[in-house]
Amino acid sequence: MKEIEYKFLVDHKKWEDLPKPSPELIVQGYLSSSIDCTVRVRIKGSNGYLTIKGKTEGVTRTEFEYEIPVNDAEEMIDLFTDKHIRKERFEILHCGRTWEVDVFQGNHEGLILAELEVESEGVKFDLPDWTTKDVSTDPNYYNAVLIEK
């Protein structure tokens, strides 16, 4: 399966003023991380996931994601990862598309990223006025890179 995703930084002031739904807490760690392949374990709310992602080319990469028992995800994170990312995810509807906005905690407190998955590269979409810089192709904003900072 292909994941085609755009990422944008978020204007803090406009984000504060935006009405939002309740967020879902995400905790994740990486079992393996290289430029060609990452293997991530994630707890999102009360669900666990194992995700394998291939090398990013432009804004596209191969992705396989499997739901796993949350207890297994917790144990894998505890046993096999020493660094974690914690963030709150908000799902915001804008012009008929669902944006996932991640508000990072811990070492990345203050970072807010908005992500939009689309059906094909180059598809046209309306940007919310609370987004700023496009960081879709900047590897510094990949979670697998952020976890090392």
Share of the chain above pLDDT 70, in %: 100
Q: What is the mean pLDDT of the chain?
A: 95
Instruction: Extract long-range pairs of 31-38: CB within 8 Å, 24+ residues apart.
Output: 31/76, 31/80, 31/81, 33/144, 33/147, 38/144
Residue 100 corresponds to which tokens in the numbers above? Answer: 């996932």
- Asked whether 4 and 128 are in contact (CB, 8 A), the reply is no
Catalytic residue among 30, 49, 141, 142: 30
We report the CATH number of the domain holding residue 94 as 2.40.320.10
pLDDT at 78: 96
| 144 phi/psi in degrees, rounded to 5 | -65, -25
Domains in the chain: how many in total? Answer: 1
Q: Is 94 helix (H, G, I), strand (E, B) or coil?
A: strand
- The token pair at 114 is 């908005």
What's the domain range around 86? 2-146
DSSP string, 26-63: EEEEEEEE-SSEEEEEEEETTEEEEEEEE--BTTEEEE
Residue type, 47: N
Residue among 91, 94, 92, 89 at smallest CA distance from 125: 94
* DSSP SS3 for 106: helix
pLDDT at 145: 87
49 catalytic residue (yes or no): no
**pLDDT of res. 35:** 86
pLDDT tens track for 45-70: 999 999 999 998 889 999 999 999 99
The pTM score is 0.93
Does residue 148 carry a pLDDT above 90?
no
Q: How far apart are CA 31 and CA 84, in angstroms?
A: 11
Tens of pLDDT, residues 71-119: 999 999 999 999 999 999 999 999 999 999 999 999 999 999 999 999 9
